Amino acid sequence: MKKYVFYPGCVMSTEQYAYEMSIREILPKIDIELADVEGFSCCGAPMKSVNQLMTLYLSARNLSIAQKEGLGLFVPCPVCHLSFSECQRIMENNAEMRDRINGMLSSEDLQYNGSVNLVNIIDLLHDHVGIDKIKKLVKKPLENLKVATHYGCHLIRPSEVGRPVDSENPQKMETVLKALSAKPLDYAEKLDCCGAMIQANLPESALTKTGQKLVAVQEQGFDVFVDVCPWCHRMFDSKQTKAGETVAAKLDVPVVYLTQLLGLAFGIDKKRLGMDLNLSPVDKVKIGGK
Amino acid sequence: MSIIDLTSMGESQTEIKKEINERLSKLQGEISDYCFQCAKCTSGCEAHKLLELEPHKIVALLKRGLIDEMVNSDVIWTCMSCFKCRERCPQKVAPVEILFALKNMAVASGKQIPGKYTAMLQSILSIGLIQDVQTVTTRDNKMKKREELGLPAVSKPIDAAKFQTVLSKLAVEKI
Amino acid sequence: MSDKIGVFVCHCGINIASVVDVKRLAKYASNLDNVVVSKDYKYMCSDTGAKLIKESIKKHKLDGVVIACCSPRMHEHTFRGVVETGGVNAFNLEIANVREQCSWAHDDKERATQKAEALVRGAVAKARLLEPLERSKISVNPNALVVGGGISGIQASLDLADKGFKVYLVEKTPSIGGRMAQLDKTFPTLDCSACILTPKMMEVANHQNIELLTYSEIESVEGNIGNYTVKVKNKPRYVDMDKCTGCGDCVGACRMKDRISSEFDMGMGKRSAIYIPFPQAIPLKCTIDSENCLMITRGKCGKGPLCVEVCEADAIDFKQKEEIVELDVGSIIVATGYDLLDPASVYEYGYSRYDNVITTLEMERLISSSGPTVGDIVCPSNGENPKSITFVLCVGSRDETSCTWCCRIGCMSALKQVYLIKEKLGDDVEINVCYTDIRSFGKGYEEFYRKIRGQNTNFFRGKPSDVRKAEDHLKMDVFDTMTSKLFEINTDMVVLVPELVPRSDADDFTRVLHLSQSADGFYLEAHPKLRPMDTFTDGVFLAGCCQGPKDIQDSVSQASGAASRAANILSKKELEAEPQVACVDEDVCSGCGLCVSVCAYNAIELVEDDGRSHAKVTEALCKGCGACVGACPSGAMQQRGFKDKQILPMIRETV
């Protein structure tokens, strides 16, 4: 049993419950234990446009809290993961910033004392747990399910701060999906953005990005659209209807979290994976030849 | 001597340009001067087609020191933070980070912050998260609360007062 | 040892004289022990200055000279000549640098002058102890080795051979010709590449002074300038070169016909296991690819090898083995050429994903009438003529995340191909060129660029972010900074203009010849402006793109230059080695070998003499860097002209 501190981030904790539910369901099956820790706050990423110093501080304080547990930090939300990665890079390379932030952290009785090992859902599954282990747990193979993967911008870029997957040709999710007997296929729009980051100030444009990508996925006949980011999922799944209205298209794309799909393949009950919380037509997804 | 932009009669704001370059160098290890306007960033910009953001032009204006016209514009708020410009730039310039710097400057100079950012900021100050814990609707229109789904309580700052004090002080500081 | 030293103080115009009191300095020197004459003059390096020194030597019967002037890096060589002509051994000269190390570094005149006095004092102290040295002679083997049979190697070989020297031209592939043989036409004149190349190739084949070793590689090089011993591996062709007529019947008969990716065609076409790389190959002989031939890899080929069956000359010989030959040469020219960057590393442009995204060299093979489609430009995916072709320049070049340098020929190659494509497919074919800058710097280049601008070509000043597949074609968005508009380009083929990089085995080859590389991996020239074809290894020269990307005319120029540099050596019966080299007192040396390990030039070895081992310096290889002297724990290793017993008094006197 490998243990990690769990950092869910704001969107998962306050709204995207299906992601948290499916994570908590499948992790024990792959021998991962999660430690819930008190005291976390927002990672600060949504505030980067307002005041980047605040973003750095917020990320640093969460890292300092996690550090106390002496475990690796599991951050399934790619936006939080990037914010933490960038914060660590700056804290390691810039002594002036580090001292300044630590000065502020001491007001909360916290200190940043060096890097925490950050892990996202994809590298946890692909690099740490391994495909063999995942394969052994499959009870209901996703027989040739044609899957469109969506990694999300913050998971794959910018590669210079170190991301868990390749920025131009990410394939780790595909490898995991193939272990579940699914058929993931590349598509031209694979690396396109969901628009979530401007949802706060330009909602119509954000929904247009979402709608445009879903239209492309739908036109290419995919059975299911898989994502790993609560911000992206919120756009593609929760706001799919609105997105369709915005781009004047009838969207009917099943959107699931990777962890939900894994859960289904492992034979876990739909309800426990939060499948009823998905607003996209996920009932269309046929699992295990049913 | 002086360089004057005859379109806007703006002069080069070299001090602020230096400040921004120092910030970029401190945080990313890159500066804007190396840009040779290949426009690969704009060609791939996720915000360009819909919102006419031109990352290469932002860099060019920064190089010329014409900062005010950008800080006062709406277009800097259209960036989707997709980081493609930073990833693919052949000269390691990061327009996305320049835009964050310009947005921060706009906020610090008292310009109105667009959209829901203020609400998110206030929420962080009060409960540590960008929004309250929501009750969600299922696909078959039932309402569900977080605790009804068997999930543990949300992690929040333990000493809210200390947290708020630090953040409030920080909110008016510049990076 | 010198008793009668002359000191000559140079004013260097005002460079020295404006800070150092040169008259006082000369007077000071005249009062030092063993100094019999001391003069000063405005420009000691001039004719008049030289005359002054020579006359003083004669008049005062000097046996040692000290010159207080600029850095020895400037004029030491000149002054040695002056002194020698005057009748003093060239190495009984000591320079006191009172310019770079004194007048140029200080403002305070009094203290600068005192320092100059100290420097001269030290120089005189050393001059007293200098020994006359003789330059040793190295015999010169008049043969030359040229590595690489592309246009640069060919040109260098011909130049040397025409001068009367015997040249061994070693080429790795089965034929000479290199990259130029792969081209259809050359810019800006649109000469047919093969037509201008093959006469030179024929000349090489027929030249009585050139021995061509194709399908051969350099195994090792030992020795030094004037005397290199080179081991060359002749790879087995499994074809008897004397019997093979190059008729090509075997090629058509081969069981692996059309099954092996052709390197010459950059993978755009296929060949047999037995093949002639291209129709004008020299030598025009067949070669069997040992990695794909069934007979060689599996020991059997159906009921019997078909090549053997059809060969009327009975030239196939599966028993051939690799051979090592030894060559003795006096000078070596490296002309090993370049590779293209594999654009798969710039993943976003789709090279590894889409068949219709190709490189310029691959397009060149399509355009070429000796190519896989006999000059018909077609989409690799469906064999149809494209209606639209888009060029993307600077792929992987001028890129801090990939290769930082400009490939120099990309712009002109692309423009040339635009012309050739329009010629073949008609003016209606839509051609788009996405560029960052157009570098048309050479003679006739701008005129060519203007021509293409006038030819209904769509130039977009901007770089696309990626190339995507759209139904049955390719598309990309490119922001055109000229119009400040974003364009969506829908196109059938995309031609990427990739960076030029060193050959994949360039790193390995540096060990064979102790070549240095610049940061970009190309071989390093001794000086970028004044010695662009020399290397830091005396006697080894560079020609062509192995030193850095360049076009054909610059390659040819550099090749002729390298040949001339090599000829400077080969034309001499013997060379003189610099005598200020390391020397070992064999009686004191304990054979510990520390000097051997610090020598960067492999100039020292341990030898056995009467049961004792001691160090031995090969003077011709020694560069006089002094590292071994510093490392030697016993003081057995000294450097002539800089011995401890000469330097220590100098230090004492100076301070």
Query: CATH number of the domain that A184 lies in?
Result: 3.40.50.11810
Q: Which residue of C has its CA nearest to A216?
A: C470
Write the pLDDT tens digit of every residue in C373-406: 999 999 999 999 999 999 999 999 999 999 999 9
- Which residues does chain C have within 8 Å of residue A168's beta carbon, measured at their own beta carbons? 347-348
Cβ–Cβ gap C470/A188 under 8 Å: yes
Neighbours of chain C (3+ CB pairs under 8 A): A, B
A83 and A147 part of one domain: no
Q: What is the pLDDT of residue A144?
A: 85
Decide if pLDDT at C344 tops 80. Answer: yes
Find, among C257, C241, C238, C237, the residue nearest to C249 by Cα: C257
Q: How far is B37 from chain C (nearest CA, A)?
A: 8
Secondary structure (3-state) at C238: coil
Contact call for residues C641 and C130 (beta carbons, < 8 A): yes
A125 domain residue, yes or no:
no
- Cβ(A265)–Cβ(A287) under 8 Å? yes
Query: Phi/psi class of residue A282: alpha, beta or left (left: φ > 0; alpha: ψ in -120 to 50)?
Result: alpha
Residue B58, in any domain of the structure: yes
Contacting residues for C64 by C-beta, under 8 A, at least 6 apart: C2, C3, C4, C5, C6, C34, C88, C92, C93, C94, C127, C128, C130
Residue B137 φ then ψ, to 5°:
-105, 135
* Count of domains forming chain B: 2
How close B92 comes to chain C (CA, Å)?
Answer: 7
- One domain, residues A112 and A19: yes
Burial class (CB in 10 A: 0-12, 13-18, 19+), A106: exposed
For chain C positions 410-439, those within 8 Å of chain B (CB to CB) are 436-437
- Mean of per-residue pLDDT scores for chain C: 95
Closest-CA residue of chain B to A195: B80
State how far the Cα of C129 lies from the Cα of C135, in Å rounded to an integer.
19
Residue A68 belongs to domain with CATH number: 1.20.1050.140
Q: Does B82 touch chain A (CB under 8 A)?
A: yes
Interchain CB distance below 8 Å, C464 and B54 = no
CA distance C464 to chain A (A): 15
* C-beta separation of B154 from A12 below 8 A: no
- Model confidence at A288, pLDDT cuts 50, 70, 90, reads low
Mean pLDDT over residues C252-265, rounded?
A: 96
B103, B132: one domain: no
Three-state helix/strand/coil letters over C146-192: EECCCHHHHHHHHHHHHCCCCEEEECCCCCCCHHHHHCCEECCCCEE
The reply to whether A33 and A155 lie within a common domain is no
Q: Residue B42: inside a domain, yes or no?
A: yes
pLDDT score of C156 more than 90: yes
- pLDDT of residue C482 exceeding 80, the answer is yes
The 3-state secondary structure of C49-95, one letter per residue: HHHHHHHHHHHHCCCEEEEEECCHHHHHHHHHHHHHHHCCCCCCEEE
**Chain C interface, best mutation among A169, A171, A189, A192, by max C CB count within 10 A:** A169
Query: Is residue A37, in this structure, part of any structural domain at all?
Result: yes
Q: Are residues B104 and B121 in the same domain?
A: no
Nearest Cα to Cα of residue C565 among C521, C531, C523, C601: C531
Integer-rounded Cα radius of gyration of chain C: 32
Do B91 and B129 have their domain in common? no
Residues B150 and B89 in one domain: no
Q: Does C642 touch chain B (CB under 8 A)?
A: no
Residue-wise pLDDT for C175-188, tens only, equals 999 999 999 999 99
Are residue A115 and residue A244 in the same domain, yes or no?
no
List residues of C whose CB lies inside 8 A of any A CB. Answer: 347-348, 353, 468-470
State the angle between helix axes of B160-171 and B117-127 in degrees (0 to 180), rounded to the nearest 10: 140
Q: How many domains does chain A divide into?
A: 2
- Indicate if B16 and B91 belong to the same structural domain: yes
Identify the pLDDT of residue A290. Answer: 41
Instruction: Give the Cα separation of A165 and B43 in Å (integer).
Output: 24
Half-sphere exposure of C147 (CA within 13 A, CB side): 27
Chain CA centroid to CA A83, Å: 13
What are the structural domains of chain C? Answer: 5-135 (3.40.50), 144-235+322-337+503-570 (3.50.50.60), 249-310 (no CATH), 339-501 (3.50.50.60), 581-639 (3.30.70.20)
Interface of B with A in 135-174 (CB under 8 A): 136-140, 142, 144, 146, 149-152, 154-159, 162-163, 165-167, 169-171, 173-174
Position C241 pLDDT exceeds 80: yes
B63 touches chain A (CB under 8 A): no
Angle between helix axes A52-67 and A95-105 (nearest 10 degrees) is: 70
The DSSP symbol for C587 reads T
| Domain assignment present for A139 | yes
Q: How far apart are CA C127 and CA C65, in angstroms?
A: 7
- pLDDT class of C355 with cuts at 50, 70, 90: very high
Are the beta carbons of C479 and B90 separated by less than 8 Å?
no
Chain B partners within 8 Å of C436 (Cβ): 36-38
Q: What is the pLDDT of residue C497?
A: 98
C542 vs C504: CA distance, rounded Å: 17
Which residues of A are less than 8 Å from B103 in CB distance?
A: 49-50
Q: Considering A57, A90, A119, which residue would you say is the last residue of a domain?
A: A119
Phi (first) and psi of residue C94, to 5 degrees? -130, 135
Distance CA B120, CA A45 (A): 11
Domain co-membership, B97 together with B145: no
CATH number, domain containing residue B81: 1.10.1060.10
Residue C49, both tokens:
């200055």
Residues of B in contact with A190 (CB under 8 A): none
Q: Is residue B18 part of a domain?
A: yes
Same domain for A267 and A175: yes
* Residues in a beta bridge with C575: C138
Residue B100 domain-assigned? yes
Q: A155 with A114, same domain?
A: no
Domain boundary among B81, B108, B135: B108
CA distance C347 to chain A (A): 6
- The pLDDT of residue C35 is 95
Selecting from B29, B87, B149 the residue whose C-beta is nearest the C-beta of A157 gives: B87
Average pLDDT, chain B: 93
The reply to whether B131 falls in a domain is yes
Q: Are strands C5-10 and C64-69 parallel, antiparallel or unpaired?
A: parallel
C401 touches chain B (CB under 8 A): yes
Beta bridge partners of C461: C435
For tokens 């004792």, the residue is: C612
Cβ(B75)–Cβ(B51) under 8 Å? yes
The per-residue pLDDT for range B96-115, each reduced to its tens digit, is 999 999 999 999 999 989 99
Answer whether residue A124 is part of any domain.
no
Neighbours of chain A (3+ CB pairs under 8 A): B, C
Give every CB contact of residue C520 below 8 A, 6+ residues apart in sequence.
Answer: C403, C404, C405, C501, C502, C548
Q: Which chains touch B (3 or more CB pairs under 8 A)?
A: A, C
Largest Cα–Cα distance in chain C? 98
* Distance from C-alpha of A197 to C-alpha of B115, rounded to nearest angstrom: 12
Q: What per-residue string of b and e applies to C1-22 under the rule 16 or more CB within 10 Å gives b?
A: ebebbbbbbbbbeebbbebbbb
pLDDT tens readout for residues A107-149: 999 999 988 999 999 999 999 999 999 999 999 999 889 999 9
**Whether A155 and A93 share a structural domain:** no
Q: Which domain holds residue B141?
A: 117-170
Instruction: Enumerate residues 6 to 25 of chain B having a beta carbon within 8 A of any beta carbon in chain A.
Output: none
Is the pLDDT reported for residue B1 higher than 80? no
Contact call for A90 and B27, based on CB within 8 A: yes
User: Do A261 and A213 sit in the same domain of this protein?
Assistant: yes
Q: In angstroms, rounded to a whole number, what is the distance separating the alpha carbons of residues A214 and A194?
A: 9
Torsion, Cα of C160, C163, C165, C167 (10° steps)? 30
Which strands make up the sheet holding A32-36, listed edge to edge? A32-36, A2-6, A72-74, A118-119
Separation between Cα atoms, residue C548 and residue C536, nearest integer Å: 16
* C-alpha closest to that of A89 among A115, A70, A122: A115
Strands (E), chain B: 4-5, 10-11, 136-137, 143-144
Tell me whether residues C465 and B36 touch, CB distance under 8 A: no
> Average pLDDT in the A92-118 region?
94
CB pairs under 8 A between A and C: 8
Which residue on chain B is closest to A50 by alpha carbon? B104
Q: What is the average per-residue pLDDT within C549-564?
A: 98
C576 exposure class (CB count in 10 Å sphere: 0-12, 13-18, 19+): exposed
Q: Domain end: A69, A93, A119, which one?
A: A119
Domain boundary among A69, A92, A119: A119
Is B72 within 8 Å of chain C by CB? no
Q: Do A53 and B29 make contact, defined as CB atoms within 8 angstroms?
A: no
Picking from B108, B137, B157, the residue at the C-terminal end of a domain is B108
Checking DSSP bridges between strand C323-329 and strand C260-261, what pairing results, if any? unpaired
pLDDT of residue C565 exceeding 80? yes
Chain A: residue whose CA lies nearest to B146: A17
Domain boundary among B89, B108, B127: B108
Q: Evaluate whether residue B63 is within a structural domain.
A: yes
CA C409 to chain centre: 18
A282: chain B residues, CB-CB within 8 Å: 139
Class of residue B124 by CB neighbours under 10 A (exposed 0-12, middle 13-18, buried 19+): buried
| Mean pLDDT value across residues B27-55 | 93
Identify the pLDDT of residue A262.
97
User: Do A52 and A173 sit in the same domain of this protein?
Assistant: no
The predicted model gives A63-85 an average pLDDT of 97
Work out the angle at residue C413's Cα, subtended by the Cα atoms of residues C462 and C370, and round it to the nearest 5 degrees.
135
Q: What is the mean pLDDT of chain A?
A: 95
**pLDDT band at C612, cuts 50/70/90?**
confident
Predicted confidence at residue A197, as pLDDT, reads: 97
pLDDT digits (tens, 9 = 90+) for C288-320: 999 999 999 999 999 999 999 999 999 999 999
One domain, residues B16 and B64: yes
Give yes or no: residues A150 and A84 share one domain: no
Instruction: Mean pLDDT check: name the lowest of C47-56, C277-286, C553-562, C619-628.
Output: C619-628
Residue C226: name the closest of C571, C605, C512 by CA.
C571
> Residue A171 is part of which domain span?
133-284
In a domain, B44, yes or no: yes
Q: What string of DSSP letters covers A163-225? A: -SS-SSS--HHHHHHHHTT-EE---TTTT----GGGTTT-HHHHHHHHHHHHHHHHHTT-SEE
Other beta carbons within 10 Å of C322 = 11
pLDDT band at C602 (very low <50, low <70, confident <90, very high): confident
* Domain assignment of residue A289, yes or no: no
> Using an 8 Å Cβ cutoff, are C88 and C59 in contact?
no
Q: Is residue B175 part of a domain?
A: no
Q: Each residue of C508-539: pLDDT tens digit?
A: 999 898 899 999 999 999 989 999 999 988 89
Asked whether residue A94 falls in the same domain as residue A40, the answer is yes
Q: What is the ipTM of this complex?
A: 0.95
Please give the distance of CA C90 from its chain centroid, rounded to a whole number. 33
